[in-house]
Amino acid sequence: MTPDLIAYDMVKRGKLTESLEYLDDAIDKSIGDLLKLYENRAYVYINLGDNEKAIKDYNRALEIEPKSTYSLYNRALINFSAGKSNEALTDFTLISETNLLKDGYWTLGKDIFIKTKNYERALYFIERLCSFDKENYNYTYNKAWCLSKLMRYKESIQTYQSLIDKTYYQHIIFNNLGFLYVLDGQYDLAKSYLQKGLELMPGYAYLNSNISIVYFAKGDIDKAMQHIEISLTEGPSNPLAYYLRAKYLGATGKKEEAQKDIHMAEKFGLNEDLVVEKAILEKTLFIT
């Protein structure tokens, strides 16, 4: 048997470390299909925990066949796992969905497009995943969340409510649903859901900052500020809590302190992650 065939046989039988010697030999001597050899060696490196070498082999494979679905998909997966979302997106967009119709493709697409804030595309992938498994909690939750980021609030509320109807009583669902009602100005409904969330997890930072908006709207400033302080104690990187406290400090004449809180809110993503929500609150939140 030639080195390439010996290597393939070893890979199939799970003898990965041993297969490397034969893969190296076959590649060095150009024995067999180089594309297949590089992709197999990359597979071995991944399973041995050496993603850096795997990436190099996928790069070589793609020099041979730039449209290799296998190499593009796996290089995207490695890059995404390493936090390199933009690099992953570049590869992922080159993959034709007709070439890789399996859950892994759709899951990776969902994750990449959520991470890169392309919520329209993320929703497309999520809806395909939901069509495979309508009862999957994570897919339904992701769908509700993306709908909210696309300002499709009624649909998002209905989707979150469908999870509650299936007895998924989780603090994060009550929080997100409550916040949607805050944005819609339905403060009584918002308070009801946010309080249910606080019963499950009293110290959750976002529940506390969200319910503070309800108390501000109802004129209970002391209670609102109590919840903001809890939020900042439990979640010191919560941009909304800093923003709300800044609004209150500014309204009470403490401009310098307010500016410090605005700086912290921006540092933790106020203008990246909460652009739409901030604009709505600017119009509806009256703190005096």
End-to-end CA distance of the chain: 83
Q: How far apart are CA 123 and CA 139, in angstroms?
A: 10
What is the pLDDT at residue 104? 77
Shared-domain flag, residues 76 and 111: no
Residue 21, domain member (yes or no): yes
Q: What is the pLDDT of residue 207?
A: 96
Nearest to 159 by CA among 179, 186, 141, 136: 141
CATH number of the domain that residue 142 is part of: 1.25.40
Whether residue 107 sits in one domain with residue 87:
no
- Considering 67, 95, 123, which residue would you say is the last residue of a domain? 95
Q: Label residues 234-259 b or e (16+ Cβ within 10 Å = b).
A: bbeebbbbbbbbbbbbbeeeeeeebe
* Contact between residue 281 and residue 272 where contact means Cβ atoms under 8 Å apart: no
Asked whether the beta carbons of 264 and 231 are under 8 A apart, the reply is no
Q: What is the largest CA-CA distance in the chain?
A: 84
How far, in Å, CA of 18 to CA of 11, rounded? 9
Give the whole-angstrom CA distance, residue 2 versus residue 160: 58
Question: Domain range holding 230?
Answer: 204-288
Chain position carrying tokens 């010697």: 21
Last residue of a domain, one of 142, 166, 190: 166
The pLDDT of residue 160 is: 96
Distance from C-alpha of 176 to C-alpha of 154, rounded to nearest angstrom: 13
* pLDDT value, residue 285: 66
In terms of domains, do 36 and 90 share one?
Answer: yes
Q: Compute the chain's Rg from CA coordinates.
A: 25
Q: CATH number of the domain at 212, please.
A: 1.25.40.10
What lies within 8 Å, CB to CB, of 282 at 6+ separation is none
Q: How far is CA 284 from CA 26, 86, 142, 189, 192, in A?
A: 68, 36, 27, 16, 20
Instruction: Answer yes or no: are the C-beta atoms of 211 and 195 closer than 8 Å.
Output: yes
Within-domain flag for 174: no
Q: Is the dihedral of CA 55, 101, 137, 117 positive or negative?
A: positive
Q: Where are the beta strands (DSSP E) in 144-199?
A: none
> pLDDT truncated to tens, each residue of the chain (288 aa)?
787 788 778 777 888 888 888 889 889 988 889 999 999 999 899 889 999 999 999 999 999 999 888 899 899 989 998 999 999 899 888 886 555 556 678 888 899 999 888 999 899 999 989 988 889 999 999 999 999 999 999 999 999 999 999 988 899 999 999 999 999 889 999 999 999 999 999 999 999 999 999 999 999 999 999 999 999 999 999 999 999 999 999 989 999 999 999 999 999 998 887 887 888 887 766 555
Residues 70, 9 share a domain: yes
Domain count along the chain:
3
Please check whether residues 50 and 123 belong to one and the same domain. Answer: no
How many beta carbons lie within 10 A of that of residue 125, not counting itself? 24
Note whether residue 7 is domain-resident: yes
**Is 88 in the same domain as 106?**
no
Cβ neighbours for 198, distance < 8 A, ≥ 6 positions apart: 171, 204, 207, 208, 211
Counting other chains too, the contacts that 127-132 makes at CB distance below 8 Å and 24 or more residues apart are: 129/103, 132/103, 132/106
Is residue 183 one of the residues assigned to a domain?
no
At which of 60, 95, 130 does a domain end?
95
Q: Is the pTM of this model over 0.85?
A: no
C-beta separation of 53 from 45 below 8 A: yes
**84 shares a domain with 150:** no
